[in-house]
Amino acid sequence: MNYLQRDIQRCPRVAVYGTLKKGQRNHHWLEGATLIGHDRLDAITLYDLGPYPGAKLAASNGTVVEIYAIDAQQLKRLDELEDYFHDAPNEGVYDRAVLATQYGEAWCYLYNADVDDTQHISSGEW
């Protein structure tokens, strides 16, 4: 069993908050995924990175996310889009973590770089 199969068995959902949301430019990367619902996660804080947002693991008033059921191939494609490296998660643009949602656990991509000089999105919606 490869890492994708282990990952997807652990958590067959993804929580998205930016360009992957319905109506946004990267939503096509979720083709074939099933929208389970929407949630507001207070475990992450959203930052405006210009062309896209980034989330950090930090308490907030809530970040609006869409939760999708995915399969191993969809997770692999999302890892490529988000520049996530399974064997070196701190070296890519994003890492991913499992977060609790009202629909169960879901993978969420977290921005790796420093955000000290970046505008925090207090509304939690991008």
C-alpha span between 26 and 109 (Å, rounded) = 14
User: In terms of DSSP bridges, do strands 13-16 and 104-111 run parallel, antiparallel, or are they unpaired?
Assistant: parallel
- Environment class of residue 82 by beta-carbon count within 10 Å: exposed (0-12), middle (13-18) or buried (19+)? buried
Is 82 known to be catalytic?
yes
Give the SS3 label for residue 122.
Answer: coil
The single residue of 66, 80, 82, 105 carrying the catalytic annotation is 82
- CB half-sphere exposure, 71, CA atoms < 13 A: 4
Q: Which residues are part of the catalytic machinery?
A: 82
